[in-house]
Amino acid sequence: MAVSLKVRATLVALCLVAPAVAYGHGFAGKRFFPATLATDDPFVADELSLPTVSWQKFPASDEGPGGSETDFSIDVAKRITENFGIELGATYKHIRPDRGDAQNGFDNLGLGLKYKFYQNDVHEAIVSAGVDWDIGGTGSKRVGAESFGTITPAIFFGKGFGDLPDNAKFLRPLAITGLVGYGIPTRSGTRTISDEGDIDVERNPHTLEWGFAIEYSLPYLQSFVQDVGLKAPFNRMIPIIEFAMSTALDRGQSGTTGTVNPGIIWAGQDIQLAIEAVIPVNRRSGNSVGVLAQLHFFLDDLFPQTLGRPLIQ
Amino acid sequence: MKRSCAAVVLVAAFAWFASAPAAAHAFLDHAVPAVGSTVHESPQDIRLRFTEQLEPAFSHVQVADASGKEIDKGDSHVDASNASVLAVSVPALPPGKYRVQWRVVSVDTHVTEGDFTFEIEP
């Protein structure tokens, strides 16, 4: 059964604020940066997120009923060279409206390329450039997957604060990663026909994709600043807060949607576990708190001689 | 049925990864004297315990005083009875602040590095 135009519109709006997934971990000097969940970071890595699970309610509106969405994602990142990598992601969506049938299906596939062009180990700084391609038409319209693609070139950055002076040593475990990107839809508008035969044209704006993550690394505190006696599992925990935003720039649309995600990451030797709350920043972004959780594998640590190496040394 | 298949695939994938040989970046797990600590007697050596076994030929630690001058005995070594422990001897140290710098290679060839300070007070 085809989902109604109004429900589709709601799902598309939800997709715009849904968190992206599968982001890298890495080192800059002695700083270990964990993989972030909702915002991309600058690292080129060999890793696998399996799975990332998110759940969030979406509100009823003039365009359709409310409901909830649960996403299951798999993402893999592979280094081609030491500083250049490719990323591929897929998401299976389960949409349960308050009225009507539940809808299931895959969202559009995501493909990304990233190149790390600057790293300063002493100052724990790193900068990369990349492009993400949301491949239009590869997903199911039943769950709101767009028929058009979006290409997003972006700059990614990371900075640890291990170079702060002694009188601020307890701030040294802080670090920030983030991105600024420009979303370019491959089609300026999308024409849809409602169940009643009405033609509706939705304009697809260019967007500013931006976000950052602030983290306080307890492993860094223990290993490089002061051993405060934390035991497992707390000695491998990294409290984090992420801000994932999208701002419409043109074609009659404006405003920012996004979420603020406070959470905790536990970074082990080979895997990482993370859970975050997903808090909409405004009513357009939702009206209830969701959950985002991830199991993440460091392929470079699990398979250092095979899958975890760059294809070209 | 589809859900069952997905669950089986997920569990199989997890089992596969979980059964992979564990070797990873070596993180500092514990140090004596402790990271950022203040002690009242000079230690005889500095001992660092890591989360992974180390490659002795490529793992080193050194100790410098407040002026940056290396003051250890130059015998940095991986403990023969515990390959995850790196140690270096130091002479009797006067009160002051000291910096420990290390760079290690775990047995799977990952490199990690770091430093920390400790202080000796009378």
- One-letter-per-residue 3-state SS of chain A: CCCCHHHHHHHHHHHHHCCCCCCCCEEECCEEECCCCCCCCCCCCCEEEEEEEEEEEECCECCECCEEEEEEEEEEEEECCCCEEEEEEEEEEEEEECCCCCEEEECCCEEEEEEEEEEECCCCEEEEEEEEEECCCCCCHHHCCCCCCEEEEEEEEEEECCCCCHHHHHHCCEEEEEEEEEEEECCCEEEEECCCCCEEEEECCCEEEEEEEEEECHHHHHHHHCCCCCCCCHHHEEEEEEEEEEEECCCCCCCEEEEEEEEEEEECCCEEEEEEEEEECCHHHCCCCEEEEEEEEEHHHHCCCCCCCCCCC
* Cβ–Cβ contact A220 with B under 8 A: no
* Extents of the domains making up chain A: 5-286
| Domains in chain B, number | 1
The pLDDT score that the predictor gives to residue B98 is 97
Q: Coil, helix or strand for B17? A: helix
Evaluate whether A90 touches A33 at the Cβ level (below 8 Å): no
Examine the pLDDT at A7 and tell me if it is beyond 90: no
Domain A5-286 CATH (choose: 1.10.1740.10, 3.90.320.10, 2.40.160.40, 3.10.129.10): 2.40.160.40
Exposed / middle / buried, residue A180 (Cβ in 10 Å: 0-12, 13-18, 19+): middle
**Cβ contacts of residue A206 below 8 Å, gap of 6+?**
A182, A183, A184, A185, A248, A249, A250, A251
**Which has the closest alpha carbon to A264: A231, A216, A212?**
A216
Look at B73 and B20; give whichever has higher pLDDT.
B73
Question: Would residue B6 count as lying in a domain?
Answer: no
* Cβ–Cβ contact A33 with B under 8 A: no
Examine the pLDDT at A172 and tell me if it is beyond 50: yes
Helix (H) or strand (E) holding B15: helix B2-18
CA B15 from centre of chain:
29
pLDDT bin (cut points 50, 70, 90) of residue B17 is low
Instruction: Say yes or no for a CB contact (<8 Å) between B109 and A303.
Output: no
Evaluate whether A32 touches A219 at the Cβ level (below 8 Å): yes
CA A102 from centre of chain:
25
Q: Which of B24, B37, B112 sits opposite A298 (nearest CB)?
A: B24
pLDDT bin (cut points 50, 70, 90) of residue A283 is confident
* Percentage of the residues of chain B whose pLDDT score is greater than 70: 81
pLDDT bin (cut points 50, 70, 90) of residue A56 is very high
Instruction: Say yes or no for a CB contact (<8 Å) between A301 and B10.
Output: no
* Cβ–Cβ contact A106 with B under 8 A: no
pLDDT in tens, A211-255: 999 999 999 999 999 999 999 999 999 999 999 999 999 988 889
Look at A195 and A145; give whichever has higher pLDDT.
A145
Cis (ω within 30 of 0) for the bond into A233?
yes
Report residue A10 as tokens: 């709601």
Mean pLDDT, range A70-99, rounded to an integer: 95
ipTM value greater than 0.90:
no
* Cβ–Cβ contact A215 with B under 8 A: no
pLDDT bin (cut points 50, 70, 90) of residue A63 is confident
- A56-65, A72-81, A245-254, A280-289: least confident range: A56-65
* Nearest-angstrom CA–CA distance, A111 and A131: 8
- A140-144, A204-208, B57-61, B107-111: least confident range: B107-111
Residues in chain A closer than 8 A to B23 (CB atoms): 301, 304
Instruction: Say yes or no for a CB contact (<8 Å) between B20 and A219.
Output: no
Question: Would residue B61 count as lying in a domain?
Answer: yes
Instruction: Say yes or no for a CB contact (<8 Å) between A301 and B109.
Output: no
* Nearest-angstrom CA–CA distance, A162 and A172: 4
Q: Return the CATH number at B104.
A: 2.60.40.1220
Domain span at residue B97 reads: 23-120
**Cα dist from A269 to A216, A266, B73, whole Å:** 18, 10, 32
β partners of residue A127: A118, A157
The pLDDT score that the predictor gives to residue A195 is 73
Look at B90 and A13; give whichever has higher pLDDT.
B90
**Cα dist from A51 to A37, A72, A196, B76, whole Å:** 11, 6, 39, 43
Evaluate whether B24 touches A301 at the Cβ level (below 8 Å): yes
Question: Would residue B12 count as lying in a domain?
Answer: no
* Nearest-angstrom CA–CA distance, A215 and A33: 9
* Percentage of the residues of chain B whose pLDDT score is greater than 90: 75
pLDDT in tens, A28-49: 999 999 999 999 999 999 999 9
Region for residue A103 given its phi and psi (left: phi exceeds 0; alpha: psi -120 to 50; beta: otherwise): beta
Examine the pLDDT at A59 and tell me if it is beyond 90: no
Report residue A301 as tokens: 């640590």
B38-39 sheet: strands from edge to edge: B38-39, B111-120, B96-105, B60-64
- Minimal Cα distance from A299: which residue of B? B17
Question: Would residue B85 count as lying in a domain?
Answer: yes
Spell out which chain B residues touch chain A, with contact meaning CB-CB distance below 8 angstroms: 6, 10, 13-14, 17, 20, 22-25, 27-28, 30-31, 34-37, 51-52, 108-110, 112-116
Distance in Å, alpha carbon of A236 to nearest chain B alpha carbon: 10
pLDDT bin (cut points 50, 70, 90) of residue B5 is low
Q: Which of A27, A226, A295 sits opposite B36 (nearest CB)?
A: A226
* Percentage of the residues of chain A whose pLDDT score is greater than 90: 73
pLDDT bin (cut points 50, 70, 90) of residue B1 is very low
Evaluate whether A17 touches A58 at the Cβ level (below 8 Å): no
**Residue whose tokens read 């460091």:** A298
Q: Which of A50, A224, A226 sits opposite B115 (nearest CB)?
A: A224
Instruction: Say yes or no for a CB contact (<8 Å) between A27 and B28.
Output: no
Examine the pLDDT at B59 and tell me if it is beyond 70: yes
- Minimal Cα distance from B102: which residue of A? A30
Instruction: Say yes or no for a CB contact (<8 Å) between B115 and A30.
Output: yes
Question: Would residue B14 count as lying in a domain?
Answer: no
**Which has the closest alpha carbon to B48: B102, B86, B83, B76?**
B86
* pTM of the shown model: 0.87
